[in-house]
Amino acid sequence: MYTIIIEDLQKVVRDRSIGNVNTPLPAGVNAEYFVDLFQQTCTLINVRQKLISTYRLLAGSPSSLPDYRLLVVSLEVLFDTNRNSFQHPCLTLLRMGFMIETSILICLFKAQLAIGSYEFKDSTALLFKCRGYLDNWRQRCLPTSTPEHAPLSSAVSRSASDVSVTSGGSGGGTANPSLSSTSVGGGNPPPAASSSSKLDVDLAKTAPKTFMWLNELYGIAFGVDLRRLKFQKHRNARRENDPLFLQRPALSRDRHGWIRLGDASTVCSNRLRLL
């Protein structure tokens, strides 16, 4: 269907009779306005076709996982090439949707690669960033009256829903949390997870289930209880001015069996390093 639409639009764009005396346009209509619009719509549809082919690639390889690095590179090229390709005022919202969607996919693929490399912090930050992009998408592009789970009957919808079998969260990518190239123009970027403590606090407040999942993950991987760690951190902060506390030996065990190293302000970080 997209191919037919592009062909029809390109016929109109190529037709030099637009605006001629023999075939007049309605009063007050600027022919160039619509020629530009149709040209840029063709570009937009081409971009969408490439995104759909990415979804089909994910859906069509149940046995062998796709090369996420190649997908990241191709999506980044697609993003950088086309971020300014359609600047027509009518296409502002569609352009924003493309940029957010591409950013989400890039982050997901990078997160997948990070998890494959056991880089859990980076993958978590990337997934958190993905959630921010998705919220941004919903806030900017979806009306409240639109049913979010409307029936999808097109072939595109079917292919996209099939992706769940294989991609299931095909996040992935190199563990580089700085995604400056994927920042969405005109939109508020998701909260940057540059600080792990800030990330913990944000997650605990905004996504308690995610925090629980993270806690479970860190518990299995490193034997760390984030809730306990946060409690210890607050308690140690209160003791920063306690001379008796500061005069304790540099290395000791508290009543909970935790190893203490250094002064109160560095207990948490040193404990993590020990574990």
Partner 1 sequence: MSSPLEEHTRLFYDALGRYNQTDASRHIKTCTALVANTPLAQGFAALSRFSVSEGMYASYAFLKKNIFKKDVWSPPPATRLCCY
Rg (CA), the chain: 26
Q: Is 261 helix (H, G, I), strand (E, B) or coil?
A: strand
Whichever of 31 and 272 has its CB closer to partner 1, that residue is: 31
Whichever of 89 and 243 has its CB closer to partner 1, that residue is: 89
Nearest distance in Å: CB 114, partner 1:
10
Give me the helices (H) in the chain, please: 2-14, 31-59, 68-82, 92-116, 120-141, 155-166, 196-206, 208-222, 226-238, 243-246, 267-274
Whichever of 84 and 148 has its CB closer to partner 1, that residue is: 148
Query: Are 190 and 132 in contact, with CB atoms under 8 Å apart?
Result: yes
Whichever of 20 and 197 has its CB closer to partner 1, that residue is: 20
Nearest distance in Å: CB 100, partner 1:
9
Nearest-angstrom CA–CA distance, 21 and 144: 45
Query: Are 40 and 27 in contact, with CB atoms under 8 Å apart?
Result: no
Query: Are 9 and 42 in contact, with CB atoms under 8 Å apart?
Result: yes
Whichever of 75 and 264 has its CB closer to partner 1, that residue is: 75
Nearest distance in Å: CB 175, partner 1:
14
Nearest distance in Å: CB 20, partner 1:
8
Nearest distance in Å: CB 198, partner 1:
17
Query: Are 267 and 236 in contact, with CB atoms under 8 Å apart?
Result: yes
